[in-house]
Chains A and B, each alone.
Chain A
Amino acid sequence: MTAVRVIGLAALCLATTQAYALEQGEHRFNGFGTLGVTHLGGEDDGRSYGVQGQTNDSWRGDQLSKFGAQLSYGITDTVGVTVQATAKAQQDEWKPNLEWAYLSWQTNDQLMLRAGRLRSPVYMYSESLDVGYSYPWLRLPDEVYSQVQVTNYEGVDAVYTVPLSYGSVTFQVAGGEAKNRDYYAYDEQFDIDYGNLFGASVSLATNDFGTLRIGYVEADIKTDISGTVDVGGGMMMPLSLLSLDKEKGKFTSIGYQYDNGTWISSNEWTSRMIENDDMESIDSFYLMGGRRFGNFLPHLTYAQLDDNGGRQTSWTMGLNYQATPTVVVKGEYKRVDTQNGYDGVFSRNAQEVFDNAVYDLSAGTRGAPARNYDGDIVSVGVDFVF
């Protein structure tokens, strides 16, 4: 009888302190990583491909391999701190990055506020961009995932989650800036600033019919992308390729994921527009489907990138093997083609851009014509989490 009373009392006491997030003094340590190599065949020697141009005709580990660790700590029952550090290779050089460092405050059952350095909520997989385990490929579809390169920002966001009878809906609003970030273009690294960054997304997760996410991000972009080119006879001149002075960039992403345990599908459509860059919007999408056979998952992806008349298309065939619940071995073959003299995600340097422009302006009498590219990309690797 006494014991029952004590239990009842304890229950009353505990009922008033709900654990929204981590409890005070509690900490969680998690890690993730990818170990993979990738190779581009078919294209001419030395041509590179990829978001950072790190895929070429030698087997390289720096495009895909990365490691990360994350520590979360409960300062109080509702206020916590999270830090995530990654090690990634940029142009053959391994660099540590502080991807995340923020304070979070779970104000009630539904609303969480965060402040600090956060992941920019650009794509469907933005916030777990480095966690290969969270998506089916080794290489995220480059056609889509090369569009915006900034991965984090300094600012605040609010995440509001409402449980529904058939799932849940999450609203996210973010604001801040990202200054002095690296931007890879024309085979070089440039500085880029994103000011007045604003993002909003809504994600509807259903128990039986998959997850739909719609996101929008805009920012004032400041960058000066230029190169030095040989204008003829060995005379070197600077060439401005893209100069933006706080022009507004707008990015929209619509994504849909489905996974019923056997069938899996992942799809995303994006559109990127920069005001006053004299270009039409750049649209891209991918469609992916796969089926699990025990621990094996064969999958197929079609991706397309449309950029002012140029087009890149690709087919990817992959086979994943779930070695343990936290380790996936992945293999992929990706065939890429471009049309209408478009470089797509292949790297074209400043000199080539210049030669192509001269060819067009001189009606084909000088310079070199823009051409199409194609390649066979093979990737093999392992994703893990702990």
Chain B
Amino acid sequence: MKTSLRILGCAALLGMTALAQAEVAVIVNPGAAKAPSQSEVANIFLGKDKSMKGVDIKDWTPAKESFYAAVTSKNESQLKSYWSGLVFTGKGQPMASVADEAAVVAKVAAEADAIGYVTSAAVNDSVKVLFTLP
């Protein structure tokens, strides 16, 4: 119990250093049926392409910032504005979101059609990296 706690603490520290670097990896399940391109990933996370299930991070983290800036060219308020345009016109709902990167990895590892993004350091063997964003 003690050891695993220490490991968790260590992982958290690692996660924090990675946050500062903020190299972001787009991850899918190892058994994913397809490997979407960057523009397809944009469509998935903007709710236009429902063939895969995007897993979002709840809070606005540096990784989230880099991911949306690189893939969809949107910052936080633009993304908010985009979704309010869909939510209040009944055309879509934002992705299901989870609390942190570990939960993204766990969800992508567990669901064949899930796709997520995490800082590169959070990636482990249970998921496949599709591409990384600087």
Number of interface residues of B (CB under 8 A): 38
| Chain B stretch 76-116: residues in CB contact (< 8 A) with chain A | 76-78, 80-81, 84-85, 87-91, 93, 96, 109-113
Kindly provide the distance from the CB of B104 to the nearest chain A CB, expressed in whole angstroms: 15
A32 in contact with B84 (CB, 8 Å): yes
Residues 51-93 of chain B, each 1 if its beta carbon lies under 8 Å from chain A, else 0 = 1010000001000000000001111111011001101111101
Contact A22 B93, CB 8 Å, known A7-B109, A7-B126, A131-B88: yes
Segment at the B interface, from A53-61, A162-170, A183-191, A232-240: A162-170
Q: List residues of chain A with CB within 8 A of the CB of B76.
A: 325
Which of B29, B73, B90, B96 is in CB contact (< 8 Å) with A82? B90
Segment at the A interface, from B2-10, B12-20, B39-47: B39-47
Q: List residues of chain A with CB within 8 A of the CB of B84.
A: 30, 32, 128, 131, 133-134, 385
Q: Residue A20 at the B interface, CB < 8 A?
A: yes
Q: List residues of chain B with CB within 8 A of the CB of A260.
A: 73
Segment at the B interface, from A10-18, A89-97, A242-250: A10-18
Which of A21, A127, A161, A261 is in CB contact (< 8 Å) with B88? A127
- Nearest CB in chain A to that of B114: its residue: A14
Q: List residues of chain B with CB within 8 A of the CB of A106.
A: 50
Name A's B-contacting residues (CB within 8 A).
Answer: 7-8, 10-12, 14-15, 18-23, 28, 30, 32, 68, 70, 72, 82, 84, 100, 102, 104, 106, 109-110, 114, 118-119, 127-128, 130-131, 133-134, 159, 161, 163-168, 170, 205, 207-208, 259-261, 322, 325-326, 385
Q: List residues of chain B with CB within 8 A of the CB of A8.
A: 31
Complex Cα–Cα for A236 and B64 (A): 68
Q: List residues of chain A with CB within 8 A of the CB of B87.
A: 28, 30, 70
Complex Cα–Cα for A322 and B53 (A): 31
